[in-house]
Chain A
Amino acid sequence: MDTYVCGGCGWHYNGDTPFDKLPDDYTCPMCGTAKSLFKKVEG
């Protein structure tokens, strides 16, 4: 499965909601980096 990694701090998104269904104003809970700066890691 693809995972999403924060471009700011490297935190891995692991939530139940698919990443692309998260609101546009979603930010990294660790460092506050915007959703648009997360990177997809092919899994």
Chain B
Amino acid sequence: MAGALELKKGVYAVGALDPDLPEFDEALTPYGTTYNSYLVVDEQVTLIDFVRANFAAELLENIASIIGDRLIDNIIVNHCEPDHSGALPAIVKAYPAAQLYGTANAQKALAAYYPDSTYTFNVVGEGDKLDTGELTFHFIPMPMVHWPDSMSSYLPARKILFSNDALGQHIGSGERIDTEVAKEKLMDCAQNYYANIVMPWGMQVTKLLGQVAQIEVDMVCPSHGVVLTTFLPDIIAAYARWASGATDGHQVTIVYDSMWGSTAEIAEKLREEYEASKHHVNVFSLADTHYSVVIGDLIESRYIFVGSSTRYNHMLPSVAGFLSYLEGLKPKDRVGLAFGAYGWSGESVDDIAAALSSMGFEMKDPIKVQWRMAPEHN
């Protein structure tokens, strides 16, 4: 239970804390997460986004703690993924007169998700505004950050951008504002979030950052994690770098799984080689590291080396899963290398090389070892 918190005059955080959530959308969430919802009290009352369905009662309680018996007039639906829209049925039941606002794509998705709910939906797009008395919201659609329906909402009078899934982080350890979090933890969590959730949409993020640069913003209220104030310029600069797809030619990520340690030995040999030539190398074994952690590391690595033993003519399932996950994130500007040890057939190395090639990687010569590297190479 997080409780409501006033962020600026008439603007409240009313969402829910989910500190024990183990993973979200396939990515580990070591600090859990939050489902952020915001309430803006003006002549009219406006709710921005809901929470996950199982936190609906908490959202209703937080809203009531601010407005008592007043009703909600408007609900801005920035994104309809169920972590943000799940509480829709409970909220529209409690506030049936509320007008919903969102993109045309959001209207279709909500109709499919919640066929039993009744509400009035107003489709809005680029340039549309909502007056709530003294304040006016400006709608900024941001398709594919994170889904086609995604939108952010801007409140110029308060210099607040409600950015939904852009600029978020999975920080559910209780902090509400960025200044309460150690900067290193904030940036790590933002990087992990971007890499696992936003990475395929660099082009769309760049467009959004261009729009944000044109407006005055000193507070960003995302849909997950802490509200950004002091560290907002750092996060914006990091997003610009990540969205550009640029990689660092001194960073190497090596990821592998190994049956009997021979493939692990190749990974260590590669680490030694690249460290000797002044590269920063991180090595991950998929046997004890979740693939989302590796993705968080490799976002700026020019070199991504992937290794697997061959088991019954195939790469290990952990490596196949990693490659499938990586492919969906569309990494650009990378150099790959496939490696692995095998007993009698050795398909894994060729299959990894083919997978990385199909993602557009420039490939280095593969390393394929039968049984185990000879001692002089160890």
Q: How far is the CB of B293 from chain A (nearest CB, A)?
A: 26
Q: Kindly report which residue of chain B lies nearest to residue A9, judged by CB atoms.
A: B144
**B residues in contact with A11, CB < 8 Å:** 148
**A residues in contact with B144, CB < 8 Å:** 8-9, 30-31
Q: How far is the CA of A1 from the CA of B272 in the complex (A)?
A: 51
Q: How far is the CA of A11 from the CA of B149 in the complex (A)?
A: 13
Q: Which residues of A contact B (CB under 8 A)?
A: 8-9, 11, 29-32
Q: Kindly report which residue of chain A lies nearest to residue B149, judged by CB atoms.
A: A30
Task: Report, as a range, how many residues of chain B touch the other chain.
Answer: under 10
Q: How far is the CA of A8 from the CA of B148 in the complex (A)?
A: 10
**A residues in contact with B143, CB < 8 Å:** 8-9, 30-32
**B residues in contact with A8, CB < 8 Å:** 143-144, 203-204
Q: Which residues of B contact A (CB under 8 A)?
A: 105, 141, 143-144, 148, 203-204
Q: How far is the CA of A33 from the CA of B175 in the complex (A)?
A: 37
**A residues in contact with B204, CB < 8 Å:** 8, 31
Q: How far is the CA of A32 from the CA of B143 in the complex (A)?
A: 7
Q: How far is the CA of A29 from the CA of B105 in the complex (A)?
A: 8
Q: List 14 A-B contacts (CB under 8 A).
A: A8-B143, A8-B144, A8-B203, A8-B204, A9-B148, A11-B148, A30-B105, A30-B143, A30-B144, A31-B143, A31-B144, A31-B148, A31-B204, A32-B143
Which of the listed residues A9, A30, A31 has the most CB atoms from chain B within 10 Å of its own CB?
A31
Top 5 closest A-B pairs, CB basis?
Answer: A30-B148, A31-B143, A31-B144, A32-B143, A9-B144
**A residues in contact with B148, CB < 8 Å:** 9, 11, 30-31
Q: How far is the CA of A31 from the CA of B104 in the complex (A)?
A: 11
Q: How far is the CA of A13 from the CA of B85 in the complex (A)?
A: 28
**B residues in contact with A30, CB < 8 Å:** 105, 143-144, 148
**A residues in contact with B203, CB < 8 Å:** 8
Known contacts A8-B143, A29-B105; can you find 4 more A-B pairs with CB under 8 A? A9-B143, A9-B144, A31-B144, A32-B143
